[in-house]
Amino acid sequence: MPQIEQPASLKQKKKWLSTDSIMPKLLLLFAVISIFTTIGIVAILIVESIGFFKEVPILDFITGTKWTPLFADPEFGILPLVTGTLMITLIASIVALPLGLGSAIYLSEYAPDRVRAILKPVLEILAGIPTIVYGFFALTFVTPVLQFILPETEVFNALSAGIVVGIMIIPMISSLSEDAMVAVPHSLRAAAYALGSTKLEVAIKIVVPAAFSGIVASFVLGLSRAVGETMIVTLAAGNLAQMSYNPLESIQTLTAYIVAVSSGDTQHGTVEYLTIYAVGITLFVITLVMNILAGYISRKFKEEY
């Protein structure tokens, strides 16, 4: 007896049913892998850091103002590295937040479609430049310019590195903020225009507050990227761990120290080697606190449409 061929629509339906049953399991697998990867990273940091804190009191680590773990008379105060990291992040935020938000407002509210289609990809090219190139740019261009304006600027300094880190995170802040603004319903803009508002008033008083949670998320992602930046600060900011609040002087950040000690000159298992994990977990805690704070602000000011 000849087989009755199934209609094409029935075959397609079975194919979709098969896909619908497989995809949730595949996506669950991806989610589980991501979760276990995060747990693995945190577990390694904690386990190795415990070995460090058995040798160095945690209070001395947190409150100490000298960081010389590789010296003959070692000191393990983390504050110089934290100060350097926060200084770079502050300078980067001064550069990136207004420029990123301003460019997002222009792209969302002012730029014609044709101009937006050109400017946004060009702006996002900045995100594709390797960070080591940014580091050489800071060292060979930005620093000489700063030395011409401020002769007391050192060759390796926090200001040059912070400016270039800020330039690097502008595309991230701009793109994410612009996406949040575009998502604001057009009816809100139309209502504001109907009440006689100008385009600037609509952008500043209507669109930005309505997209505030997304803008905050973009700020935190950008600043988290600045906190964790490695190559720019290693090349341009120097490797002098000191409690300095002068951006024209050399400093060392958390990530730059990890790079310096991970070069292979430190014996595995020693206290000096374990400082990598102590510094790493400090960096993790700083980033975690920033994300928790951003999540709270986003939930507090989130708008539902």
Q: Where are the alpha helices (DSSP H) in the chain?
A: 8-55, 58-63, 79-105, 113-124, 131-137, 143-149, 158-182, 186-194, 199-201, 208-210, 212-227, 231-236, 254-261, 271-301
Joined tokens for residue 141: 């261009």
Token look-up 């940014």 returns 134
User: Do residues 88 and 161 touch, judged by C-beta distance below 8 A?
Assistant: yes
pLDDT value at position 196? 86
- What does the domain layout of the chain look like in residue ranges? 79-301
Give the predicted TM-score (pTM) of the model.
Answer: 0.85
Q: Where are the alpha helices (DSSP H) in 56-157?
A: 58-63, 79-105, 113-124, 131-137, 143-149
Into which CATH architecture does domain 79-301 fall?
A: Orthogonal Bundle (1.10)
Torsion over CA of 117, 119, 122 and 128, rounded to 10 degrees? -90
Q: Is 76 helix (H, G, I), strand (E, B) or coil?
A: strand
Q: Please state the separation of Cα 55 from the chain's center in Å.
A: 32
Rg (CA), the chain: 25
Q: Is 52 helix (H, G, I), strand (E, B) or coil?
A: helix
pLDDT per residue of the chain (305 residues) written in tens, 0 to 9 = 455 444 555 555 555 556 667 778 888 889 999 999 989 988 988 988 888 888 888 888 988 888 888 877 888 889 999 999 999 999 999 999 999 999 999 988 888 888 888 888 888 788 788 889 999 999 999 999 999 999 998 999 999 999 999 999 999 899 889 888 988 888 888 898 888 888 888 888 889 988 888 898 889 888 988 998 888 998 998 888 888 888 999 999 999 888 888 776 677 778 888 899 999 999 999 988 888 887 787 777 666 66
**Is the sign of the CA dihedral 179, 180, 185, 188 positive or negative?**
negative
pLDDT value at position 97? 92
What is the rounded distance in angstroms from the CA atom of residue 134 to the CA atom of residue 233?
Answer: 10
